[in-house]
Amino acid sequence: MPAKKKKLSLFLFIDAFGWEVKQRHPDFLKGLIQDSKPLDTILGYSSACDPSIISGLTPSEHKLWSSFYYDPDGCPYKWTRYLRLLPNFIFRRGRVRNQISKLIKKVCGFTGYFQIYAVPFQHLPLFNYAEQKRIWEPDGLPCGKTIFDRMAQEGIPYFVHDSDVGDAARFEQLTGDIQRRRVDFAYCSLGGLDALMHAEGTDSPKIEKLMQWYDGKIRALLDTAEENYNEVSWYIFTDHGMHNVTGSYDLASDIEALGLEWNKDYVAFYDATMARIWFLDERSRTPISQSLGNHPKGRIISNDELRESGTYFEDGQYGDLIFLMNSGIQIIPSFMGIKPCKGMHGFNPADPDSLASLSSNQRIPAHITKIQHIHQLMMEELTLEGDAPSEPRTNPKNGAPTKRNPSTQ
């Protein structure tokens, strides 16, 4: 049998495995976790959090926040305006919209995650899409670099999950690369828990069963890693927690009742927990701001708070006004869906249910307090510092550049 490789750094991302959820499952990896702590998340959704984790940057810096933004001139799928002529009863169906999403993604050449959700077809051509590139690969961000850029430049062999397959296949692919000792670093995102809690809420008995499945899969993965590497450092983390949905509210009707004209006076994008509004005519700012300023179901996020959270965009790319719903209240109907979920994230980051979590077989430094700090842990695991060098590091045996050998199943 070939000699073991020196070290594996393993980062397993369990989507929505927040601190409060973790506390309700104390047997998860019991006896293996040496240190664990909550982490502050970022205002918004995974579209904001995930790029921050892998880059160490805030959305204001890497330029990815919510999925859609007002840009009728730059929209690459303007042809979808003709879909508004087709019967609603067909194109409201999730399966149909999923197939249309795949078509748009193929026609536009998007490599990142893309889904039109419930955006009305008459409005879709008004909005461009932010995550057009797959962020888990080099050059995936509009601005800034990720850990994958650094590893590609340094010639570090790594594994990153395949977004087109489920959790079981991701475990299988990662296990295979570890058995073959192909990688020094692995980043694997797992989405089953997030999907289950959206559908069932955070108190479903199905969650315990899923956590037991994750526990078994991860223990087996770690056993395989220790058989093939002299040293294994691993981190289990997430980007945000999950709230139970306690009610829903039709926020769009409140704004429509003001009598303003869509796409002349204003445009709004209704996320599941936020309304993002652009003022096309400055005269629309006052009535909309007054209507939302003392709203019983939520509040306007001040520019100072947006700056503090790293989600302020001076050019108003993602909206001139941001309205956040009270925690637990989902906007229905929204451009994300016409029916409420039982679980939702994207509420106030300061809420306990919003907190992310981080666990490891290593001591977690005190300065790691936010999800974007996970990037620093990755850098330290790979003994990388500061900005990437201009040239790839060389093979100490012959001075030749080391070859990149990422496994990106």
Are 294 and 219 part of one and the same domain? no
Are 42 and 146 part of one and the same domain? yes
Which residues of the chain have a pLDDT value below 70? 1, 89-91, 386-409
Beta-carbon contacts of 57 under 8 Å, excluding residues fewer than 6 positions away, are 51, 141, 143, 144, 372
Are 170 and 316 part of one and the same domain? no
Are 235 and 252 part of one and the same domain? no
Q: Give the pLDDT confidence score for residue 58 in this predicted structure.
A: 98
d(CA 148, CA 260): 46
Domain assignment present for 393 = no
Domain assignment present for 198 = yes
Domain assignment present for 396 = no
pLDDT digits (tens, 9 = 90+) for 249-293: 999 999 999 999 999 999 999 999 999 999 999 999 999 999 999
Q: Give the pLDDT confidence score for residue 182 in this predicted structure.
A: 96
Domain assignment present for 394 = no
Q: How far is CA 308 from each of CA 251, 304, 402, rounded to the nearest angstrom?
A: 26, 6, 41
Q: Give the pLDDT confidence score for residue 13 in this predicted structure.
A: 98
Q: Give the pLDDT confidence score for residue 4 in this predicted structure.
A: 86
Domain assignment present for 346 = no
Going by the DSSP 8-state scheme, the letter that residue 262 receives in this structure is: B
d(CA 104, CA 76): 9
Are 77 and 183 part of one and the same domain? no
Are 216 and 365 part of one and the same domain? yes
d(CA 307, CA 245): 28
Residues in a beta bridge with 36: 359
Going by the DSSP 8-state scheme, the letter that residue 400 receives in this structure is: P
Are 189 and 305 part of one and the same domain? no
Q: What is the pTM of this model?
A: 0.92
d(CA 167, CA 244): 24
Choosing from 101, 129, 157, the residue where a domain stops is 129
Please, are residues 151 and 381 in contact by the beta-carbon 8 Å criterion?
no
Are 236 and 250 part of one and the same domain? no
Q: Give the pLDDT confidence score for residue 69 in this predicted structure.
A: 98
Please, are residues 210 and 193 in contact by the beta-carbon 8 Å criterion?
yes
Please, are residues 283 and 291 in contact by the beta-carbon 8 Å criterion?
no
Q: How far is CA 24 from each of CA 14, 20, 28, 259, 333, rounded to the nearest angstrom?
A: 15, 7, 9, 47, 31
User: Considering only CA atoms, which of 378, 357, 43 is closest in space to residue 184?
Assistant: 378
Q: Give the pLDDT confidence score for residue 386 in this predicted structure.
A: 60
Are 147 and 228 part of one and the same domain? yes
Q: How many CA atoms lie within 13 A of 14 on its CB side?
A: 27
Are 226 and 159 part of one and the same domain? yes
Cis peptide before 287 (omega within 30 of 0): no
Host domain of residue 119: 68-129
- What CATH number is given to the structural domain containing 275? 3.30.1360.180
Polymer length in residues for the chain:
409
Q: Give the pLDDT confidence score for residue 391 in this predicted structure.
A: 35
Beta-carbon contacts of 80 under 8 Å, excluding residues fewer than 6 positions away, are 100, 104, 121, 124, 125
Are 50 and 146 part of one and the same domain? yes
d(CA 38, CA 284): 41
Q: Give the pLDDT confidence score for residue 268 in this predicted structure.
A: 98
Domain assignment present for 197 = yes
Domain assignment present for 395 = no
Are 47 and 149 part of one and the same domain? yes
Please name the residue ranges forming H helices in 164-247.
Answer: 167-179, 192-200, 205-228
Give me the number of domains the chain comprises.
Answer: 3
